Structure 1
Amino acid sequence: MAPKRRRTTEAENKPEVKKGSSSRLTKSQSQPLKVKDNKKKKKNNNNSPVVVFAHGAGAPSSSDWMIRWKNLLSDALHPVEVVTFDYPYISARKPPPKAEKLVEFHAGIVKDIANKYPQHPLILVGKSMGSRVSCMVAAEEGIEASAVVCLGYPLKGTKGAIRDAPLLQLEVPTMFVQGTKDGLCPLASLEMVMKKMKAKNSLHIVENGDHSFKIAKKNLESAGITHEEAEQSAVQAIAMFVSQIIGTK
């Protein structure tokens, strides 16, 4: 039986990122982000990260979900750029291949962006399959990522196997954002993997969220929150994690 996860408060999330730390959605954590509109300062700040954001298996970078989260990440992290792209199978209208076959293409995108912004911390973000490939890319030679953020990591394979090999190889600080009703990532299994990881890691839990963090209306009403507040809570947790890693304030 997995140990019970207690709720954390905003104050408990302020210390340095610890291995296996987690945060749960509470109403007090769901305040809207204060977005500073200072593009000139952002461009000249070498602490501003550059983000490479990979899509999931079933939808391209132009999907509503990807566009919304690209905007959320842009507002929260104040990056010099959030780069999205499509894996080649999208334009070829083919089913997604095994994640391992996408690493070379993905790594090429990451290297190009790193060369474009050599003085800025590199953050790899992925949705579902894109997060799994991002973890593989972060372990590649020549890739110097500061952190990886996994949005709905697909830990459980189609046949039920726990696919933890890419995570156990990682040495880059890694954050997971997972819904409690995500069938592709049982939280008890993820937390066991996190304890075995070499890399610093953190977990933000979206209560009653599915694989894409969607929450049923009845659960939103019961918690007294909106879907937008749930997303804001998650993206604030990401911003805190990234700032702790790259040293911004």
Structure 2
Amino acid sequence: MGPKRRRTVDGESKQAVQSRCSMVTRSQSSSVKKISDDSNINNSPVVVFAHGAGAPSSSDWMIRWKNLLADSLNAVEIVTFDYPYISKRKPPPKAEKLVEFHSDIVKAIAAKYPQHPLILVGKSMGSRVSCMVAAENGIRASAVVCLGYPLKGSKGAIRDGPLLQLTFPTMFVQGTKDGLCSLESLEAVRKKMKALSRLHVVDNGDHSMKIAKKNLKLAGITQEDAEQCAVQAIAMFVSQITGAR
């Protein structure tokens, strides 16, 4: 018996990966309404991208995802920033205390690009704060994208308050092995949300969507493939919201 053929992500296997990309994004609604039919609106979005609690905007993860989003969304600009506690080398405060700082940045960017759809993106804690900002009066975001939403608090409480306040379309990108957000808990919250929501699942992904090497090998994909699937789903979501072509 000859040696077993190794699974690759080339040829037919690569096509299978792309097929899976189109199958794992779950919508809470059968359709997504465009934000506007105004021909004067430029559909290229501007993105404000907030980091998580443990790493600044200069981290490898943030830089990689910033580049992925820039390529997939054809964004006019991807704006990242550091919350003040980062430079002071202090632990992160409660998310509520970061809202004003974050909101000021969002308002400044919205004023700079008034004709572009505004998309708020956040990693973990940054996604939670982004949802709080989006729920504020005076913020006219087109959509919110949560990369690893930290639904479960340190004491086990379900932190769904910001999500239930949202009225803007919201997308979640969650790993199936994310200890801070089980898919079952998130689905229960999504059913209660007023806003349209969409979910893209990263099979075997952790809180940062990282997949163990053994699981990548079994699936016949790479970490890059999984991340490309995620950003493709985000790009489709944003294009449907903004009416981009």
TM-score of Structure 1 vs Structure 2, range by shorter chain: 0.7 to 0.9
TM-score normalised to structure 1 length: 0.84
- Partner Cα distance (1:11, 1:181) in 2: 20
Using the TM superposition, give the Cα deviation of residue 19 of structure 1 relative to its aligned residue in structure 2, in angstroms. 1.9
- Partner Cα distance (2:22, 2:52) in 1: 33
Q: Against the structure 1 CA distance between its residues 12 and 98, is the aligned structure 2 distance closer, same or farther, given a 3 Å change threshold?
A: same
How many residues of Structure 1 are paired with residues of Structure 2 in the alignment?
218
1:108 to 98, 104, 107: 104
1:19 counterpart letter in structure 2: Q
Q: Establish whether residue 175 from structure 1 lines up as the match of residue 184 from structure 2.
A: no
Instruction: Note the 1:1-249 alignment, pairs <5 A.
Output: 18-19=27-28, 46-249=42-245
Supply the RMSD in Å over aligned alpha carbons: 1.9
After superposition, the C-alpha distances for 1:75-100 in whole angstroms (9 at most, x for unaligned) are 00001000000000001111100000
Report sequence identity in percent: 79
TM-score normalised to structure 2 length: 0.85
- Find the structure with the greater CA-based Rg: 2
1:157–1:163 contact (8 Å) kept in structure 2: yes
1:159 counterpart letter in structure 2: K
- Partner Cα distance (2:48, 2:56) in 1: 14
- Partner Cα distance (2:23, 2:176) in 1: 21
1:20–1:191 contact (8 Å) kept in structure 2: no
2:28 counterpart letter in structure 1: K
1:20–1:194 contact (8 Å) kept in structure 2: no
Gaps of 5+ in 2: 1-18, 31-39
- Partner Cα distance (1:80, 1:241) in 2: 17
**Secondary structure of residue in 1 paired with 2:145:** strand
1:100 counterpart letter in structure 2: E
1:54–1:61 contact (8 Å) kept in structure 2: yes
Using the TM superposition, give the Cα deviation of residue 10 of structure 1 relative to its aligned residue in structure 2, in angstroms. 6.1
1:178–1:204 contact (8 Å) kept in structure 2: yes
**Secondary structure of residue in 1 paired with 2:171:** strand
Match of 1:39 in 2: none
- Partner Cα distance (1:151, 1:173) in 2: 14
- Partner Cα distance (1:84, 1:198) in 2: 28
- Partner Cα distance (2:41, 2:110) in 1: 16
Match of 1:34 in 2: none
2:145–2:170 contact (8 Å) kept in structure 1: yes
Q: Against the structure 1 CA distance between its residues 20 and 152, is the aligned structure 2 distance closer, same or farther, given a 3 Å change threshold?
A: farther
Using the TM superposition, give the Cα deviation of residue 46 of structure 1 relative to its aligned residue in structure 2, in angstroms. 1.1
Match of 2:5 in 1: none
